[in-house]
Structures are given as C-alpha cells and as structure tokens.
Chains A and B, each alone.
Chain A
Amino acid sequence: MAARPRFDPELRAGLAVVGGVFPPTITPELIPFMRRSYASPPLEESLAGRSVVSEDVTVEGHGGTPITVSVLRDPRRSGPRPGVLYAHSGGMVFGDRFSGLDMVFDWVERLGLVVVTPEYRLAPEHPDPVPREDCYAALVWMAQQAEQLGVRPDRLVVGGASAGGGLAAGLALAARDRGGPALVGQLLDCPMLDDRGLTPSTRAFDGVGVWDRTSNETGWRALLGDAVGGPDVPPLAAPARASDLRGLPPAFLSVGEAEIFRDEAVAYASGLWAAGVDAELHVWPGGFHAFDIFAPHTALARSLVAVRTAWLERLLED
C-alpha cells in the first residue's frame, strides 16, 4: 500500500461519527444502505431559520423523461441574480438533490445566488449518460428560462461535489462542445473525474476515511458498466480523459490531501493551466473526502468555505 498522509486531528475525531453513516468501503451490496443513510433530511429541517425558499419544477431530462429540479432562492432578493446549476454528491449511485447542500443554502442566503439542483437519475439503474444528461437538460432549461427564473444568463456557473463535481466538469465540457449555455465558472469540489483508478492517491486510503478505492470502483462500474477503465470511456463521463481542455470556463478545484481524488484533481488543474484556462486549486492538508460536508465545524473546513465563497464572490459579484 502506498504511503499516506495523516488525517487532520479534528477531522480524525469527526470520522468516529462519520464512519457509522458513511463507511469507508462501499461495495455494490451497500448501495441500498447508502441510499438510506445518505438521504437528505426533511427539507423544512434543513431550511429552518434560513432565508431560503425551494420550488420544485418538472423539466424534461435525458430522452424527454420528466425529472424534478428544485430552484433555491432568497425571497429577500429581487431582480436577476447569478445562477448555479448544482449537482449533488453520492458517488453516482446514491444521494438526492438536497444531500450535502448546507453550504449551497449559504450561497443562496449570503451571496443571493439562484441555485437549480436537479434530481438526476442514479446509476446503476440509469448508467451513463443519464445522470450527466439529466443535469445538462436542467442546465439548458435554466438558461432558456433565465428571465422567468430571475437568473442572469451572463452569470451562470456549474458546480458540484464529489460525483457532482465530476458531473459539473462534464457539463462544462458538454456546454463547450455543443455550443450550449455560456458558463462563467465551474466549481469542482473534491471531484470524481477519473474512472481508471491508477493514481497513487487512489491506492493509498483503502479502508479509511470517506470513499476509498473500492467505493470508487463501485460508483464508476455502476455508471460505466464493463467499459470502466477501458479505452472507450467518453471524456464527458470521466473528464480526466479529456485531451482538449481549451476554452473551458474558469475553475475552482478543492480536494483533500488525504483522499483518493487528490491526484486526479491536481492533474485536472494542471491540464486546465496547460490549456490556458484559469484554475484555482486548493489541496487541504489532512483533509478526507468531502470533509467540508461532514465536518463543517472544523478549522480546515472553515478555511475551505472562506476561499470558496471568495471565489464565487469575485466571479459573480454585481
């Protein structure tokens, strides 16, 4: 096994609690358990005391199948606001459109962003391209309905965490390739970019933390089936495979030093720089996967939130 950095002490303490809800190793047999354990709490609990309202809309997803999207906004704000299409986390196989969204509610409340979060369909029942194309359909809908939604079409960002970060990177590639909605940024939190599992960090955290190599294989195989790791995986599904990153919107990438996605996130940022794309990369010492979602009270998570909010503010301010 490869050498691995230690977890930050506050985060290591957090794992004593996190591990019961989110085991480090997720096999296909555990997907039903994860769908229960990672389901979001009732929305009224999450939004209690917040100035955030959520409206559900049915839109046409991939292949014309109806999917639900939720539009989150701060009712105190009026006029066109910047918009974010946000893809939730959950390894492509679990989670729902409100899972791990507490920080997104903060963006709505503090920055006045309008967030659209689609209930994209999950693998393995709905393999690639369904999850991404559901999100892409929601993005196109958001751009087309910008005026009615109170969204500025010239301030559109895609974002997501973990699987959602990989989907967001895929959306940015798709929007570029198809001449789709113009994006001003892509926010890639601890993104799941590479199905090949070949980096040293992929192999360094077996059985510890959140989301190890086996979990990653579970997610990618569910999404890609037997094509996983082979020569025929499209870059839109696994953006690490994209050979041309030119012309993409500015990126924010954030990843833990102590997680399997570290090396692929760093490589993607390097690829963006080589292609002349702006990219801000943060690697958090001792950070496990998605530590800002699981342990937002820690010093490391508060630092992450501060720089991420600053990036959004610079990008989207009036």
Chain B
Amino acid sequence: MQELLGRLTALDPDASHGLRVIACFDELVLGNVGTRALLSAAAALAGCPAGFQQDHPPLQVRVAGTGDLLPPAPPPAGVERVDGQVSWLDRDGPPGPHDAIIVERLALALRIRHGRGRAALADRRHMAVLLDATVPVTARREAASALGVRGERRSCVVVAPLFARWTAHPVVPEDVVPSPHGPLHVLVVPEGVEVVGASPSGTSAPTAVDDLPRALRTATTALRLWDEGCGSTSHVDRFGGLVELLVDLPDEPGSSGDVDRLEAVVAHGWGATTLEALVQAASVRQAARLAGVHHKTMTARVEEVTAALGFDPLAGYGRARLGVAWLRWRLRHSRVLDLPAPHRP
C-alpha cells in the first residue's frame, strides 16, 4: 500500500493523496474491523510497523506492514497520549509524507473501535456533525461555528468523489464524510463567492446552516445524475424541485414498477438515447431530431416504449411519469460514485 501511494504520487504529484488515507480509514470504521486490521492498514500505508497501547483494559499491539503481529513493545517517547490511549508508527529515519494523517486517522479509528468515540459527538469531525440531520440543531450550529461557516450567510454544499479532477480548489471548509454511496469529499461554499472546479461534482442550492444536511443529500443526488453534458458540476437547478423528490425515493430493483419496466426499454441499444430525447423534447418530431433518427423511427420506438410501460409517455401525466422514472433509472444505475476516474495520461 505504501508502494501504491508512492506510485500515485509519481503519477499525479498534485493530487491530494491524504484524502485516500482518510477514505481508507473511514471504510475501516464503517466496516467495524478490529484493532489488528486497523494497525495493519496503518502499517501497510506507512511501510513500517504500527502500534497501539491502551491503559484500561490493558492492551499493547504492534503489527508489521505485512499484517503480521510483532512482539508487543511500549510506545516511543514523546508520542501523544489521549484518554489513556496512544497510537504510533515505528519508523526509523525521517517521517514519511503521510505519517501525520495516518496516525491521526488510526488514533480516531481505534478510539471508536474501543468504544470511546461512537457515541460522543466531540469525537466526530465537525463536517460530519454539521451535515447529519439526526444531530440536534444546536450541535450542528456549534460545528458550523467551529468550521467558520457563518450563520447569517447561506452556503452551497458541493460534493465530489474522492477521485474527482480539480481545476479550482477554494479555501473553504471541507472534509471527507461517509455516505451510503461510499466516502464523499464535501465542501461548504459561501453563496456567490467561490468557484469550485471539481469534475465530476454536485452542487446544492444556497441554503441556511440548519438546512445543510438536506443540501448534502440534494447535492449528492445531483452528483449521481452527473453526465458529460453538464460540465464539471451537476447543479440541482438542472432538475429543480425534482431533486427534492428524488432524494427521498428508493433505488433498488422492485422499488418502482415504472422504473422496473424501463429496464426492458433500456435493454434495447436505442433505449437510453430515446428516453433522454423523449424527456427533453416537446414532440415526437423534436425527439427524433435530438436522437438523430427519422421521425417514423421515433414513432415506432414511442409505440414500443408505450407498450413496455403501459402508458403513453407523451400524454397527460405520462410525461411526468416518464421523466421521474427516467431520473430514477439513472440513479439506480449511476456509476459516478463507483468509478474512480482514472488519471488520464
């Protein structure tokens, strides 16, 4: 893993590889792995042994970068002891470029593993608190204040995968937070001031501090609907009030008859282009132009879509049903957060 981090730096010296370390430990915490696994990851990332000692109950563990257990040994002099716990790297020679972040994340993960952090909000990072709707609003306001997010000013939430490409990176509060879709890089950007150049990313509408958890969810949904056509960021404005609706709807197969029926349409080679054209266009003729086919071809496809869905997608509520079902289908099949965009040479 240390070697992989080294290669990453060689391939892309400008990228923030500390974020990958953070994401790595976030996944370990979410996965509820044990002390040895946490120390193994730290040692593998650092390329030298990692250790942990706790006073109560007494525990001393050291693990090599291979994941093998080493004879226990006390921590080196001078390492910080917090709450009767201490985590460290046994490095001979100068520290590695990621040592500080590795030890910080290791210590945090071990605190949680040993029951000292799970319940205590103080141990969670401010951004995660600020954006968690289940946290009382007073605690969220405190977190906002600690982050420098001012209460009298609205902010946008910008979310990006860890593997986004950055062209402009303003100095605003940011962190990596866990989500059901994996770790997300989140920024809270004051309204109308800063430009974030991250591709792909999702951007919420400007929001008051108390509503930022909701803004995170809408920005994440917008990100999952990102495509090449929307530039670097997918703004919730593209979908207006629909995003408000979509954040609360389930994705999984079986959750919607309309979406399930769309699967059969998309199975055709022409399916996705046709559905997108039908959603965008005001008429069959315009849809044919958008999809680049003859309007007789489009008419035949509309008939096939109508047969598959069981309603006319161009009449009455059929238009709204198709639009919502199509966006839900795209969310169900979104790969924006699955796919680490490779650093193209």
Contact = CB atoms under 8 A, between A and B. Distances in A.
Interface of A: 1, 8-10, 12-21, 23-25, 30, 32-33, 36-37, 41, 206-208, 294-299, 301-302
A33 B343 contact: yes
19 contacts: A10-B37, A13-B31, A16-B23, A16-B27, A16-B183, A17-B4, A17-B24, A20-B163, A23-B341, A24-B338, A41-B3, A295-B44, A296-B66, A296-B67, A297-B1, A297-B65, A297-B66, A297-B67, A299-B37
B41 interface: yes
B240 interface: no
Contact of A12 (B31, B45, B67): B31
A19 B340 contact: yes
B4 to A, nearest CB: 5
Nearest to B6: A41
Contacts of B36: 299
Contacts of B37: 9-10, 298-299
Given A24-B340, A294-B4, A297-B43, A17 B33 contact: no
Given A9-B32, A14-B24, A295 B1 contact: yes
A16 B173 CA distance: 22
A206 B24 contact: no
B169 interface: no
A30 to B, nearest CB: 6
B307 to A, nearest CB: 24
A21 B11 contact: yes
Contacts of B27: 9, 12-13, 15-16
A156 to B, nearest CB: 29
Interface of B: 1, 3-5, 7-8, 11-12, 15, 17, 20-21, 23-28, 30-33, 36-37, 40-41, 43-45, 65-68, 162-163, 183, 333, 335, 338-345
A21 B7 contact: yes
A297 B41 contact: yes
B330 to A, nearest CB: 14
A206 B334 CA distance: 11
A41 B26 CA distance: 29
Given A10-B31, A23-B341, 18 more contacts: A9-B28, A9-B31, A10-B41, A13-B33, A15-B27, A16-B23, A17-B8, A18-B4, A19-B163, A20-B12, A20-B15, A23-B340, A32-B345, A33-B343, A36-B345, A37-B7, A296-B66, A297-B67
B67 A30 contact: no
A301 B274 CA distance: 46
B162 A16 contact: yes
Nearest to B162: A16
B40 A298 contact: yes
Contacts of B11: 20-21, 36-37
A19 B24 CA distance: 11
Contacts of A12: 27, 31
A207 B338 contact: yes
Contacts of B338: 24, 207-208
Given A23-B342, A294-B4, A301 B67 contact: yes
Contacts of A301: 67
B341 to A, nearest CB: 8
Contacts of A207: 335, 338-339
A30 B344 CA distance: 7
A150 B21 CA distance: 45
A25 B345 CA distance: 15
A16 B43 contact: no
A299 B67 contact: yes
A94 B168 CA distance: 33
B44 A297 contact: yes
Contacts of A25: 339, 342
Contact of A298 (B17, B32, B67): B67
A226 B33 CA distance: 46
A15 B183 CA distance: 12
Contacts of B183: 16
Contacts of B66: 296-297, 302
A13 B28 contact: yes
Contacts of B28: 9-10, 13
Smallest CB-CB A-B distances: 8 pairs: A9-B31, A19-B340, A297-B67, A297-B44, A23-B342, A13-B27, A16-B23, A207-B335
Contact of B343 (A9, A20, A294): A20
B30 A9 contact: yes
Contacts of B8: 17, 20-21
B31 A297 contact: no
Nearest to B345: A33
B252 to A, nearest CB: 10
Q: Which residue, A14, A36, A297, has most C-beta atoms of chain B within 10 A? A: A297
Contacts of A14: 1, 24, 41
